[in-house]
Structure 1
Amino acid sequence: MAHDTVTYVPGRDIAELLAPRPRVQDLPGFHEDYADFVDYIIKCTHRIWEEKQVGLIYSHYTHNCLVHTLGGQTFGAEEVVQNTIRTIAAFPDRSLYGDHVIWSGDAAQGFYSSHRITSLMTNQGASEFGPATGKRVRVTTIADCAVRENRIYEEWLVRDNSWLVRQLGLDPAEVARRQAEAAPAPSHEQWRLGEIDRVLGQLAPARGEFPADPMAEPEAFALALFQEVWNARMFGEVRRHYAGNARMEAPNGRRLFGHGEIIGWVIAVLAALPDARLSVDHVAAVPHPSGDGVDIAIRWQLAGTHRGGGLYGPATGRRLLILGVTHWTLRGGRIENEWTIFDEVAIWRQIFGGPAA
């Protein structure tokens, strides 16, 4: 299925995105009013969160769906319903703005979406972070979903919780310290430790192999650049593959500009986790409708030992896991914009010895 017939989200008004359209993509088993896979993601998200039709989760998630966050895993549509209700109770006026949906797949193999969302909301009820504060906040979330026949059967969810907590007037480390007093769910702790072993168990890092034309092979380009920068420690590759005026949004509300700040942030993460290894677990890419660019979504995990100070306080020797998603805008073979999201409150919880949430 050609991408150019499927909904392209950036810059479009929600009223236009929600307008009924005839089906343009083969979607076996999907509800008849979804025109294409991106239309499905945008509309069902709007209906569940904006229109508060929370019960639609029962027809849009499988009964045994698995949802991964660094804070813990949940199983089944019922837990998704309950967690959604809790979030709405804490932030009842939450508005979700779909910034982009980068997708892959087809009717035969199923579909995969990476949905970047900006949420505006007021903390009017108790949340996982503490009592209501009355504060108005803005936060970025990326939800990666594997979907077949109208139902999400697996999801990876990342949110910039440290920035959210700071806007609530709280200290992310102190919030995490309180949360760490709870006992970890055994199944989640087993998953976390297993993923750390998997990621750290990779062979010594080989050099990345870049395609001749990144615009034509965006998936290969993403794999090569992550390998070069994060595993091979070839930080200078940022200067070769990012535009000189590249902009990046990073966790804790960070806004970075240009090669120096982007390289500095990567080095700061690796200084805290000096033995870290990174595994790229999924890549999707869609072209700009104009034909002059490509948008790429990369889901990854990084594991390492907290042996350095800096970002996450004095070294503790704890083994840490990070679940992250990165979105790139690629033009002329170079990255112009990046959004990288992961949950730093979850990292602090691991540092304090509690569940990685």
Structure 2
Amino acid sequence: MSKKITHIETLKLERDGLKQDLPGFGKKYINIVDYILEITEDIWEKKEIDVINETYEKDILIHTGARIINGVETVITGTIDTLASFPDRKMGGEAVIWSTDNKGDFYSSHRIISTATNLGETIYGKATGKKITFRTIADCKVANNKIYKEWLVRDNLSILLQLGFDPVEMAKKDATYKKTPIAIPINSNQEIAKQDLEYPENLVYSLITNVWKQNNFEDLAEYLAADSTLYAVGNQEISGITKIKEYIQTVLASFSDLSIGIERITSNREEGLTHIAARWYLKGKTTEEGVFGKHSVDEIFIPVLSHYTVKNGKITDEWMVYDGFDALCQIYSQTNTQI
């Protein structure tokens, strides 16, 4: 039997907004949205690194790319290194979409647009002095004031390109998947019939399964408003059904034997408006024809985090984030990768 993947909330929460029962949380936090926004600001903009120990479990599991990172010390080290490279990083919180899983357990999907200047050395090379803009989405499971699991997707390919580095050359040098094998999880989910499209959550589910998975592009107008905009990786803004269709087709052309699955949908319904977060994935062998420009011998795994706004029964906006550089690192880690 497929696990429940759709979670719906109708309470509107925001920074300094409605008071919510948060068992085991610090008293200064008003609700789960307030918690996520406040700790992000404290850690990244106020540079209060100790807040990480206060709000992350010691043995936290972080899903990033096709691997799992374990332990709060990794979070602390990564934060310190990033701040050294980009000391003026500003974290613009665009949205936090949330739900409750169990009593005292919460789920959040936090969309962030960051601006930063590369003033320190990075893993890619010396400081460039360049100012960059990039998007991240972080999904977290939280209980008792502690984040104990996170799914982190950052547009690292855009960062590299803006800094002026060659992503392919960087991927060839990267040792991530030479040290840690590519991990491709197996997930199952239930298809949702087209007649359920009056519910905004099913609209998003059906967009992914019917268009992305089954290539029924003639149905796009059922899901998207005529002036719908897709905010894609690389700081792209793609407007209109025809252009969005072309973008999806380009991504799909990057794979052979492609599998697509949805792991979770989180929905915050408001009067006349619904905000939805979807955690899903692409897995398959890559081809030369698509965005990666390279055949891979084995499958690669690309987690995708998307946010949607639904109004009047149609998707008006989508923000889609995946890590294209991590995909390149997987491709070039395969010693028998075809030329």
What is the TM-score normalised by the length of structure 2?
Answer: 0.90
Partner of 1:14: none
1:39 partner amino acid: D
Partner of 1:6: 13
1:184 partner amino acid: K
Give 5+ residue unaligned stretches, structure 1: 8-16
- Equivalent residues in 2 for 1:305-344 (5 A)? 305-344=285-324
Partner of 2:157: 162
Secondary structure of the corresponding residue to residue 276 of structure 1: strand
Shift of 1:103: 0.7
Partner of 2:5: none
Determine the C-alpha separation between the residues in 2 that align with 1:183 and 1:241: 37
Distance verdict in 2 for CA 1:353–1:185, change over 3 Å: closer
In angstroms, what is the RMSD of aligned CA positions?
Answer: 2.3
Partner of 1:252: 234
- Equivalent residues in 2 for 1:120-269 (5 A)? 120-180=115-175, 184-186=178-180, 189=181, 192-195=182-185, 198=186, 208-212=192-196, 214=198, 217-269=199-251
Distance verdict in 2 for CA 1:42–1:89, change over 3 Å: same
Shift of 1:176: 1.6
Does structure 1 residue 89 correspond to structure 2 residue 84?
yes
Partner of 2:3: none
Shift of 1:297: 0.3
Distance verdict in 2 for CA 1:255–1:279, change over 3 Å: same
Distance verdict in 2 for CA 1:211–1:60, change over 3 Å: farther
Partner of 2:253: 271
Does structure 1 residue 67 correspond to structure 2 residue 62?
yes
Is the Cα contact below 8 Å between 1:5 and 1:24 reproduced in 2? no
How many equivalent residue pairs? Answer: 328
Shift of 1:317: 3.4
Is the Cα contact below 8 Å between 2:203 and 2:223 reproduced in 1? no
Higher strand share: 2
What is the TM-score normalised by the length of structure 1?
Answer: 0.86
Distance verdict in 2 for CA 1:207–1:99, change over 3 Å: closer
Secondary structure of the corresponding residue to residue 121 of structure 1: strand
Shift of 1:268: 1.2
Is the Cα contact below 8 Å between 1:6 and 1:38 reproduced in 2? yes
1:257 partner amino acid: S
Secondary structure of the corresponding residue to residue 23 of structure 2: coil
Determine the C-alpha separation between the residues in 1 that align with 2:118 and 2:97: 30
Give 5+ residue unaligned stretches, structure 2: 1-7
2:325 partner amino acid: V
Deviations 1:314-334 (A, max 9, x none): 423331111110111100110
Secondary structure of the corresponding residue to residue 263 of structure 2: strand
> What is the aligned-residue identity percentage?
34
Secondary structure of the corresponding residue to residue 228 of structure 2: strand
